[in-house]
Structure 1
Amino acid sequence: MVKSYIKFLQFILFFVFSSLLSGNIHAQCAGDDGGLTVCDIPNLANRSINLYAALGGTPTAGGTWSDDDESGGLDANTGVLNAHLIRQSKTYRYTYTVNGAAGCTDNSSVVTVTIGGYSGVASNSTQCSANITFNLFEAFNGLFLGPQDYGQWYDNTTNKKVDPVINISELEGDYGFTYTIPAIGTCPEVSSTAVITVVRAPKAGEDINLSLCGSDGLSAYKNFDLNNLLAGQDPGGTWRDGNRISTGELTFAGDRFVDIEKIYDRFGEGYYYFGYKVLSQKPICPDDEKVAWIRLEKKLDFTGATVTVNSDICETEIPTANYSVTIKKGPAAIPNGAYYVTFQVSGLNGRTEIASANFNNGTLVFPINPNYFQDVGTYNVNIISIYKTNSLKICANIMGNLSDDLIIYPLPDLDNAKIAQTTTCQNQGALIQISDAVKIGDGIYDLTYNLSGDNQASGQIARVTFIGGNASFTLPPNLSPNPGNAVITITNITHVISQCSNTANVSGAIVIKHIPYTAALRMQIKNVCFEEPVTVSLTGLGALTDISLSYIVSDNTTSTPLTINLLVSGGNASFIIPSTSASNPGSYAVYIVNLTDNKNGCGVNLSNLSHSFLINAIPAAPSAAPQSFCKVDDATIANLQPNGAQYKWYISETATTPLDPAYVLQSENYYVKETSAAGCTSPATMISVTINDPAAPELNSEGSGFCGLDNPTILDLTNRTNSPASVVWYDAAANGNLLPSTTPLVQNGRYYGFDFSDATNCISEKSIEVVVSLTNCDAPENLFIPDGFSPNGDGVNDVFVIPDIDFLYPDYVLEIFNRYGSRMYKGFKDKLGWDGINYETSGISNGVAANGVYFYVLHFNKDNKPPRQGRLYLNR
């Protein structure tokens, strides 16, 4: 309370003192000018300074205020000044104006206010050097009034002025910076010091990156240290695979080695990114990571590629021609995409240029400036290099010779050319020779010509090659059908390659002679045997007397024409074909190629006159080998090999009558001959025939008797033969079924044994028949006979039987009696045992035997063994 009062007195005294110092004291409506100084800026009282109270005199209330120096702290409606809103320490003027009051000589007064400095409340700040810069004003405590503007910062370490924004990228540790606002009026200088702690940021370094040509081999990079991709990095960082599809090369934390060769082999060319991260030691700084890349490029192979410059023109097309270059890839694949093509054009206007175009499915096309091609001549367009537009040109692509010539052709001109007179035969070609065509360049041309005279034609085309102004072509035979004279005139000439064309007018004479008449000509040749002469007979030669004949003897291979001179008599002639022209058996044909009248030298090409003939060969002796058969198969001549209509079999080499196909074979020799379709018979071939018949098996001394108690099978029967390894058994002597070795033998069963030979694969023709007995059993001393049974239908002991008695005593008879001596049952071999039914005595319980004791008598009928009596008990 006391302090507030003292401050109030100080304010009054200050106000009075300021009033006394005022240079303008007026008794006016707006009062007198006043002034005040505010040094303690953060004081809350300085947020509402009443400027009206600072006016001298007796100002009239209700006036208006203006902030003359735009301090920004005045409320113009109330005249209250808020020093907290003024951002700069200086002296400000505020004018109070009263308008409309009567009798006022001056209606405004000024209050001058000096605002002392305020440097704020500094606060220490921790920054990361990775922020690069720091604004020192950010170091002020935000809980207090912020500092004024326009002060000066000082670096306490160097005592030098600094800008508010400082570079902290290379700093580490604590640094003091002082913000000072100078004294003004009675207000002292004020300062605030902030300590900035700079934490060094982790450094992942600067990327160096790596570019390699994978096609040149990467064996030196199979264990590449990724640290080589960076410079200035902190140690202790870790690498990661930054690719969309992992290369799989970094396999554990801390791994920094990669196999670049394997990456290229697996993934091909491209950018491969790897990130190096260094962790921050303090949370104020973030972790730092630098991503470096490895660029792998593939060498493009343009071997076999072609370049075409479109297109060659005639000199008349120069003003309007446009050109393009087409590059087509060779065998190697070229990816689609954009490429830079560096090319060079020869010629007066030629130079080197770079074009941009796209490869699409192996083809790239780009236009080329027509200014390169302005005169007749040959221009070479050479492709120097081709690279993808995104290529770093790491690989030296294989170019080969990629060039093409563009030719601007002159118009062909036949002025002053000549055609020499020529002579030919009717329907034969005439050689047309052109000379002195001095204005025609060497090359191939199409000539358009007409014929007049005894043979006429128009618009005919001939292709010729001019060399040194000379050329020739043959007039087609169809243009000289009439003997006599004709004139040939060339009317146009066209260069074949360029299609440059020009009119012409060059003529020459043709003389045409008669040819022989051959419409009635005929030829005859008879078939012959091998080594017999072949005679060719000709008829229909008309009035010809002396001819030359060219012919070909053909056996479907290329033959050299033969020429023979013949004298003709009565229209007929003949000759013998040399044996060397038809030296082997086979099918031949004679073709008359040309017939020439030796008197005038004119001949006729005969394309349709031919005749075929045969030189029949004698067949070679047939190929045959010794053969064997099974006797059981009854093989005949028809079974011998070879067989067929062309083969006949004989009983001797000299026999002429063949054996009947049904002749049954024996173990003896036979002879086979082959007859050709032409009736020629070959020499005989002898073979030996062997008829195999294994002997039938024999039963040994053990015979066919078995004991049924042993469950004998076919195998047991087999083992009682003299050929147990090869005997087979059937259930019938003919067309029977083969019996497996596990087949059980049955009493009185009939079995037929055949012997089978593995060596000849034959079965014996004859067999052995065996009737089996299963009663060859040794009888026991004490035969077991049951003493009762229970025929109640439960499936257990329902029938009274004596086990194995059918085998032990096959002729037994069993009789069963009741206690009255009446026989109830009589049984024997293969008869079902007694089931408790009375089969013998009528009128006893409807045939069903009652429970009780019954008596049996067993007649053995073997080995004079006496009958056995006993009793049994029936219990249902």
Structure 2
Amino acid sequence: MCNDNGTIDLFTLLVSADIGGTWTPMLNSTTGVFDPLVDSAGSYQYTVMNDCNTDTATITVNLTTAPNAGLDSTLDICVIDAPIDLLTQLGGTPDSTGTWLPMLNGGGNIFDPSVDTAGVYVYTVAATTPCSTDATSQIVIQVDDSAAPTVVNATLEFCATDDAMVMDLDAAVNGTMITWYNSIDSTTPLADADLLIDGTTYYATQTNATGCESSVRAQVSVVVGDAPTPTLSIDGNLFCINDSPTLENLIVNINEYDMISSNVVWYDAVDSSTALSLSTILVNGTTYYAALIDSVTGCESNVRLAVTTDLTACGKVIVPDGFSPNNDGVNDTFDVENLGFLYPNFKMEIYNRYGNLVYEGTNSTPRFNGFANQKALLSDGELPVGVYFYILNFNDGSTKPEQGRLYLSR
């Protein structure tokens, strides 16, 4: 019998049996009524007895399970979703031996939203004897898609110094919930902070209110412009502090510099965004950073040229031949311009015409102002007008001492 046939009284299957017997094993009903939903298939023995005899009869019950097509359900799916086994979407525990109508594109239970269409799909499991009623269920399938984003700018141009990121691509399209990929079929979204790559095509989708991402992707090409790092001529960083050099003097030593287009810009840091004025006075040992400007794209060098200035290239120092210490604010001291900067270990000795040392000074002592700083001379130290002689020791390990004469006037 089929397990969906309902109950049957096994006693009715016996021929001319006496009533009042017992069944072994006992049926769930405790009588002779067999219920296929709760009683098991097998042999059931009916026993009847009286004072004269005991008699038995056996009925063997074979059960065939009725077909199970599961329970009706619905399925909302997006075009870009992966194929899905419809059996897993039915309620209950459907048999796997059924068929679908209409037939799925793959011929089995797999629904592919990219090729199979929305609609009502009926699942039928055929009955096998002694069962006679086929089982059916259905799934109502809705396939949704979102339109691709609208492209408003098919090519975006950036400079390498912009550090453009994926989030900057949004300016090229109109849409909602935009997602970017680096290929037409990639399944891994790009992060907003990913840097854009020159010459790359990026692909955008948008997601609608139902959560479906567009199956068609919009394309946007990216151009990231850059300028080469400028180069410096040999010894282009060497200047003399006495000339008060500025960036205007330094810029002409850039090999790629074009005065007409003014294609070089200077900064005080490798990542600064504030350009320096060409009138900026150079400071010894300071590093300045040069960027070249591309004449076509207007982009600056992403990698800047670092130039550290050396302002000691002054050659032979110029020692004045006199001074006038009369407190008029002009030439009141005998001083060699930037001597302490160029030769910080120098020593200056000044002698009178008799060969007496009247002044000895270094970078840490006041400059010669017409007064002796040697104790052996006049008490007030003021020296008379006249010719004096100097010896200048540079003490740099290479420059020879220099000597000459000077005139002190008041």
Q: TM-score of the superposition, structure 1-length normalised?
A: 0.26
Counterpart code for 1:870 = R
Counterpart code for 1:762 = C
Pick the aligned partner of 1:749 from 286, 295, 309. Answer: 286
| Higher RCO structure (Cα 8 Å, ≥6 apart) | 2
- The within-5 A match list for 1:688-767 is 688-725=221-258, 726-735=263-272, 737-767=274-304
Measured at CA, do residues 691 and 788 of structure 1 come closer, stay the same or move farther in structure 2, by a change above 3 Å? closer
Measured at CA, do residues 808 and 678 of structure 1 come closer, stay the same or move farther in structure 2, by a change above 3 Å? closer
Measured at CA, do residues 794 and 656 of structure 1 come closer, stay the same or move farther in structure 2, by a change above 3 Å? same
What is the CA deviation profile of residues 370-413 of structure 1, one whole-angstrom value per residue up to 9, with x for unaligned ones? xxxxxxxxxxxxxxxxxxxxxxxxxxxxxxxxxxxxxxxxxxxx
Task: Please tell me the root mean square deviation across aligned C-alpha atoms, in Å.
Answer: 3.8
- Equivalent in the alignment of 1:636: 165
Counterpart CA distance in 2 for 1:663 and 1:691 is 14
Counterpart CA distance in 2 for 1:852 and 1:779 is 28
Gaps of 5+ in 1: 1-527, 530-615
Counterpart CA distance in 2 for 1:664 and 1:721 is 30
- Contact residue 146 and residue 206 of structure 2 kept, 8 A: no
- Equivalent in the alignment of 1:218: none
Measured at CA, do residues 743 and 871 of structure 1 come closer, stay the same or move farther in structure 2, by a change above 3 Å? closer
- Equivalent in the alignment of 1:676: 208
Counterpart CA distance in 1 for 2:202 and 2:279 is 45
Measured at CA, do residues 825 and 732 of structure 1 come closer, stay the same or move farther in structure 2, by a change above 3 Å? farther
Pick the aligned partner of 1:773 from 290, 310, 316. Answer: 310
SS at match of 1:640: helix
Counterpart code for 1:744 = I
Counterpart CA distance in 2 for 1:737 and 1:826 is 44
| CA positional deviation for 1:765 | 2.5
Measured at CA, do residues 654 and 727 of structure 1 come closer, stay the same or move farther in structure 2, by a change above 3 Å? same
What is the CA deviation profile of residues 78-113 of structure 1, one whole-angstrom value per residue up to 9, with x for unaligned ones? xxxxxxxxxxxxxxxxxxxxxxxxxxxxxxxxxxxx
- Equivalent in the alignment of 1:659: 190
Counterpart code for 1:663 = D
SS at match of 1:670: strand
- The within-5 A match list for 1:137-148 is none
SS at match of 1:872: strand
- Contact residue 750 and residue 771 of structure 1 kept, 8 A: yes
Counterpart code for 2:307 = V
Are 1:815 and 2:344 matched, yes or no?
A: no
Counterpart CA distance in 2 for 1:771 and 1:846 is 49
Percent identical among aligned pairs is 31
- The within-5 A match list for 1:365-514 is none
Measured at CA, do residues 714 and 658 of structure 1 come closer, stay the same or move farther in structure 2, by a change above 3 Å? same
Counterpart code for 1:797 = N
Q: TM-score of the superposition, structure 2-length normalised?
A: 0.52
Counterpart CA distance in 1 for 2:212 and 2:323 is 95
Measured at CA, do residues 759 and 802 of structure 1 come closer, stay the same or move farther in structure 2, by a change above 3 Å? same
- Contact residue 370 and residue 382 of structure 2 kept, 8 A: yes
Counterpart CA distance in 1 for 2:270 and 2:377 is 53
- Contact residue 622 and residue 672 of structure 1 kept, 8 A: no
SS at match of 2:220: strand
| CA positional deviation for 1:708 | 3.9
Give the strand-richer structure, 1 or 2: 1
| CA positional deviation for 1:837 | 4.7
- The within-5 A match list for 1:558-707 is 618-623=146-151, 624-642=153-171, 645-667=176-198, 668-682=200-214, 683-707=216-240
- Contact residue 815 and residue 827 of structure 1 kept, 8 A: no
What is the CA deviation profile of residues 522-553 of structure 1, one whole-angstrom value per residue up to 9, with x for unaligned ones? xxxxxx99xxxxxxxxxxxxxxxxxxxxxxxx
Number of paired residues? 257
Counterpart code for 1:673 = T
What is the CA deviation profile of residues 109-130 of structure 1, one whole-angstrom value per residue up to 9, with x for unaligned ones? xxxxxxxxxxxxxxxxxxxxxx
- Contact residue 320 and residue 334 of structure 2 kept, 8 A: no
Measured at CA, do residues 867 and 784 of structure 1 come closer, stay the same or move farther in structure 2, by a change above 3 Å? closer
Gaps of 5+ in 2: 1-75, 78-143
- The within-5 A match list for 1:216-295 is none
- Contact residue 170 and residue 178 of structure 2 kept, 8 A: no
What is the CA deviation profile of residues 603-636 of structure 1, one whole-angstrom value per residue up to 9, with x for unaligned ones? xxxxxxxxxxxxx995354214212333333322
Counterpart CA distance in 2 for 1:823 and 1:673 is 89
Measured at CA, do residues 745 and 847 of structure 1 come closer, stay the same or move farther in structure 2, by a change above 3 Å? farther
Pick the aligned partner of 2:391 from 857, 864, 867. Answer: 857
Counterpart code for 1:633 = D
Counterpart code for 1:649 = W
Counterpart CA distance in 1 for 2:239 and 2:251 is 13
| CA positional deviation for 1:865 | 4.8
| CA positional deviation for 1:800 | 1.6
| CA positional deviation for 1:756 | 2.7
Measured at CA, do residues 779 and 759 of structure 1 come closer, stay the same or move farther in structure 2, by a change above 3 Å? same
- Contact residue 619 and residue 680 of structure 1 kept, 8 A: no
Counterpart code for 1:684 = R
- Contact residue 287 and residue 306 of structure 2 kept, 8 A: yes
- Contact residue 389 and residue 403 of structure 2 kept, 8 A: no
- Equivalent in the alignment of 1:237: none
Counterpart CA distance in 2 for 1:688 and 1:736 is 27
SS at match of 2:249: helix
Measured at CA, do residues 678 and 710 of structure 1 come closer, stay the same or move farther in structure 2, by a change above 3 Å? same
